[in-house]
Amino acid sequence: MYSSIWNLVAFLVFTIIPRILAAPTDINHATILSREDQIQESYDYIIVGGGTAGLTIADRLTEDGRYTVLVIEYGYLTSQSIIVAGNGRDFNDPGIRYNITSTKQPGMNNKTQAVVIGCCVGGSSAINGMIVIRGTRTEYDGWKELGSEGSSWDWDGVIPYFRKALHFNPPSPELAQSFNITWDPSGWGKGIIL
């Protein structure tokens, strides 16, 4: 067991280094490190995973320039700004997403299903599945009821960030009428989070 931990550490340190993203001051000015000698002696924070959460945390920690952050990402920084799920060739590229299959699902006659998890900078959010899923007001307010009193993890606390992160482009009036598409514009924002 002990040696397998060191094997994992060695793997992370020596095979992942060419794919390291360091954010010394701001995620918008990140530096891609390709050699071990480019890594600083120490960092205030080391984040494993350059997906949505890892990059957001790195951005928040470095926004005022007080902290240095090293983000270690298994995948690479893709040259594409968006990987659209409909483009099957790119979507199935093992350099963009892990090849993971679910366990047998009793509700699906014990069939398995591909689990789409991104393995590139941006993580699964770099794979544009053309969908948005978020909880309801009741679900987020439930967090508060379960013990996060005094925090901002209820609906009113998280909806501003959803609005900040998402921009909704409604369908044309003709398309909306043809397919009976409806939406609530109050749940959508006009900006982008980064």
Whole-Å CA distances, 170 to 84, 135, 160, 188: 19, 20, 20, 10
Q: What is the pLDDT of residues 64-85, one digit of tens each?
A: 889 999 999 888 776 655 555 5
- Residue 180, Ramachandran bin (φ over 0: left; ψ between -120 and 50: alpha; else beta): left
pLDDT over threshold 80, residue 25: no
- Band (pLDDT 50/70/90 cuts) for residue 97 is confident
For 149-169, what is the mean pLDDT? Answer: 82
DSSP reduced 3-state for 22: strand
Q: What is the pTM of this model?
A: 0.51
Tell me if residue 114 falls in helix, strand or coil.
strand
How many whole angstroms separate alpha carbon 68 and alpha carbon 74? 20
Gap between the Cα atoms of 19 and 33, Å rounded: 7
Sole residue written with tokens 């959803």: 162
